[in-house]
Structure 1
Amino acid sequence: MPSPSTIALTGFITWALVLLVLMEGLRSQLVLRGKVRANAFTPDNAGLSPFMQRLARAHANCIESLPVFGGLLIVGIATNRTALTDPLAYLLLGARIFQSLVHLASVSPAAVTVRFAAFALQMAIGLYWAFELVAST
């Protein structure tokens, strides 16, 4: 059975893919309905609905964070030290998904604060893992 670290890493990658598929599905509908030219999209979905702009940013947030948090999980997996990453792996994944969902729902001041709290939790977990992985070598 895969470790929680392996499942969390796979889940993180899958979540980024789900956001990408959702964005491209919605973009495809816009093209097929003649609302946007196929070559008119920008990376940030500027000129589209606020939801589409938030979706682009939520996906970018995942992609930006994946090398950092995914990299730490890979170090744990590759060095057979998942005992350090497993206990918080699901919490990291849950915080990442929660952050994205809040981002998709709203950019109100309260939502931004909640979203930042979820990201701060991920940063704290990442710092803890980095310290523990380095200290245990």
Structure 2
Amino acid sequence: MTATAFALLGYIGWTLLLLLVMETLRSVLVLGGKRRSDSFRPDGSDGSPFAQRLSRAHANCLEGFPIFGGLMLLALLLQLAALTDPLAPWLLAARVAQSSVHLLSVSVMAINVRFAFFAVQMAIAAWWCVKLLQAGLAG
């Protein structure tokens, strides 16, 4: 498995893990009789502060997937993973770090750190766009 394929699987797995935690928390509330299953807002705004952050962290993963996942899928499809492999683990690490900081705090410092991890992902994606375009024009 290439580093790109591993990072893509890791990104999907991380997104799934966040969803599973969110659904587990909701299931506990429903099964404990504290909430009705039809009472949850889709955006998670009616949950505890942690549940709200969890919902946003999960949504952030989904929002970024068309760009980050799309670029990795494109590289794999075009057999150009050698271009994305060196930075793919760093993109995954930055994504996990961004979500983790989001789960821990919404202080100004945490928001700044979270943005820095997002900026790393954007820079990697921009670099990949340039490299994949160059490879496409050359080939």
Q: Which amino acid in the other structure matches residue 24 of structure 1?
A: E
- Structure 1 outlier segments of 4+, above 6 Å: none
Partners of 2:35 and 2:107 lie apart in 1 by: 28
For normalisation by structure 1, the TM-score amounts to 0.98
Cα deviation digits, residues 53-98 of structure 1 (max 9, x gap): 0000000000010111000001111111111100000000000000
**Alignment partner, residue 119 of structure 1:** 118
User: More displaced, 33-42 or 116-125?
Assistant: 33-42
Q: Could you tell me how far 1:120 is from its partner in structure 2? A: 0.3
Partners of 1:131 and 1:42 lie apart in 2 by: 40
Partners of 2:82 and 2:2 lie apart in 1 by: 9
Q: Which amino acid in the other structure matches residue 63 of structure 1?
A: L
**Alignment partner, residue 33 of structure 1:** 32
Identity %: 53
| Cα RMSD, aligned residues only | 0.6
For normalisation by structure 2, the TM-score amounts to 0.96
Partners of 2:70 and 2:45 lie apart in 1 by: 31
Partners of 1:46 and 1:59 lie apart in 2 by: 13
Partners of 2:70 and 2:89 lie apart in 1 by: 15
**Alignment partner, residue 128 of structure 1:** 127
Structure 1: 5+ residue stretches without partners:
none
**Alignment partner, residue 102 of structure 2:** 103
Q: How does 1:57-96 map to 2 (within 5 A)?
A: 57-96=56-95
Q: Which amino acid in the other structure matches residue 108 of structure 2?
A: P
Q: Which amino acid in the other structure matches residue 8 of structure 2?
A: L
Q: Could you tell me how far 1:34 is from its partner in structure 2? A: 1.2
Q: Could you tell me how far 1:133 is from its partner in structure 2? A: 0.2
Q: Are 1:55 and 2:54 an aligned pair?
A: yes
Partners of 2:118 and 2:84 lie apart in 1 by: 17
Q: Could you tell me how far 1:47 is from its partner in structure 2? A: 2.2
